[in-house]
Copies of this chain bind each other. A is one copy, B any other.
């Protein structure tokens, strides 16, 4: 029986990667052996041409994935073997960090050739990483319509709808019969991807509605477009935030949607594949900025690039750690008298940091989903403070008893409980207020949230614990 190949896509991809890696390894081996002998030279040629043929049959997304998983030298060897007409697609698929390494390896001529294969919106995406003069040359080489579109896409910020929309709209008039639409589509020979609806416009280009392909297929071909179209479609504006559009796609299960200007004129189209990329980027940026990384890192990038990517938050952290250290410095006299304080203080600070991070993670998430407004701050704060109070008494109680037993000093245990409770209250308060303040200041609430809350609970925790100890124990 001839069935379709029955293998998981993920497994296939892994096999492909392993295959390339082993071929490349063999190639490098031959290289190292200074393949001057004729049979070795011919094996090398054979391997290379085999690899090249094999690559030609792969989806560009798969090639992109393989390139990302290879160390720089191997990556560039493979990149040379890729057919030049796929170059553009692959450049769009790889991560920013890897794209940079590939572009650095291409000369101007190759880049221009790769860019020629791309649509206006894709060109614009690539343009942000090319030198200014190359972009100008590229734009010059386009026809008037394409040039206008690239300029339009470049006029929006990277995260706006205008920068991610494409121009592959198929439009129809509302007064024609479905039969005519079907004939029209047949004449087009090729339809754009992710097209689940046609856009219905009037003679001046204003959007009147959308005609879902589903309706086109099930309705009587003699009916007019106006009879079956949807007149209140979800549409977007080019200045809107891309991530807001992505959330609307998710909420209403959209596959494609029209983009209109302020007068309601159709100017572009959004598709679910771009929206999925935006959702993924949003989450990745959040994870990165939480950990204090400035941008996505190519794991095989140079040591210097890595240091450059990571240093800014490290520097901030160094300052906050130094402040915490000075808080302890103030109480050096107390620690000299009761050295147990030095051993116990990191517990108070550490637990505070952990609970503060829990609170802030939850609030940032709820804010992203727009479930938290400044209107319900009081209620939220009350709840978080209650949770903190109870947690402080419970876990502070546990650690207080342990401290009491360990140092045989009841008052020390009591100070421990009080300090834990107060620091957890501080963590809850800051966990709610930091992201709220960030939003009021128009900043991303996730950015550096972890570093900020830890700074508060470290310095705060040391101050509370050592302060209480100084007052009550010494």
Name A residues whose Cβ lies closer than 8 Å to a Cβ of B: 1-6, 8-10, 13-14, 17, 21, 59, 61-62, 65, 68-69, 71, 182, 185-186, 188-191, 193-196, 206-209, 213-214, 217-220, 231-237, 240-241, 244-245, 247-253, 255, 260, 262, 264, 272-273, 275-277, 279-280, 283-284, 286-288, 290-293, 297, 299-300, 303, 306-307, 310-311, 313-315, 317-318, 320-322, 324-326, 328-329, 332, 335-336, 339-347, 349-351, 354-355, 357-358, 360-363, 365-366, 369-373, 375-376, 379-380, 383, 386-387, 390-391, 395, 398-399, 402, 451, 454, 458, 462
Interface centre among A17, A317, A341, A354 (most CB of B within 10 A): A354
Chain A to chain B contacts (Cβ below 8 Å), 7 pairs:
A287-B290, A299-B371, A303-B386, A314-B358, A324-B350, A328-B346, A335-B339
Find A279's partner among B279, B306, B402 (CB 8 Å cutoff). Answer: B279
* B residues less than 8 Å from A193 (CB atoms): 214, 253
CA–CA, A343 and B335, complex, Å: 10
Known A-B contacts A3-B264, A318-B395, A328-B342; the reply to A362 vs B303 at CB < 8 A is no
Find A346's partner among B14, B62, B458 (CB 8 Å cutoff). Answer: B458
CA–CA, A375 and B350, complex, Å: 36
CA–CA, A279 and B280, complex, Å: 8
Do A402 and B276 have beta carbons less than 8 Å apart? no
Query: Nearest Cβ distance between residue A123 and chain B, in whole angstroms?
Result: 18
CA–CA, A232 and B363, complex, Å: 46
CA–CA, A71 and B3, complex, Å: 54
Known A-B contacts A217-B186, A299-B362, A354-B317; the reply to A8 vs B376 at CB < 8 A is no
* B residues less than 8 Å from A299 (CB atoms): 362-363, 366, 371-372, 380
Do B9 and A248 have beta carbons less than 8 Å apart? yes
Do B218 and A190 have beta carbons less than 8 Å apart? yes
Query: Nearest Cβ distance between residue A49 and chain B, in whole angstroms?
Result: 24
Query: Nearest Cβ distance between residue A186 and chain B, in whole angstroms?
Result: 6
CA–CA, A391 and B451, complex, Å: 18
* B residues less than 8 Å from A235 (CB atoms): 4, 6
* B residues less than 8 Å from A207 (CB atoms): 3-4
CA–CA, A322 and B347, complex, Å: 6
Query: Nearest Cβ distance between residue A107 and chain B, in whole angstroms?
Result: 27
Which B-chain residue is minimally distant from A253 (CB atoms)?
B273
Interface centre among A3, A65, A249 (most CB of B within 10 A): A3
Q: Oligomeric state, in number of copies?
A: 2
In order of increasing CB-CB distance, the 7 nearest A-B pairs are A283-B283, A291-B361, A342-B342, A3-B264, A328-B343, A9-B248, A321-B350
Known A-B contacts A193-B253, A332-B343; the reply to A307 vs B387 at CB < 8 A is yes
Do B358 and A391 have beta carbons less than 8 Å apart? no
Do B191 and A399 have beta carbons less than 8 Å apart? no
Do A314 and B354 have beta carbons less than 8 Å apart? yes
* B residues less than 8 Å from A311 (CB atoms): 391
CA–CA, A21 and B370, complex, Å: 14
Q: 15 more A-B contacts (CB under 8 A) besides A314-B351, A317-B350, A329-B340?
A: A3-B207, A9-B234, A9-B251, A10-B248, A13-B370, A186-B219, A189-B218, A194-B253, A196-B196, A255-B272, A307-B390, A324-B347, A336-B339, A346-B346, A346-B462
CA–CA, A264 and B380, complex, Å: 52
CA–CA, A369 and B65, complex, Å: 9
Do A217 and B185 have beta carbons less than 8 Å apart? yes
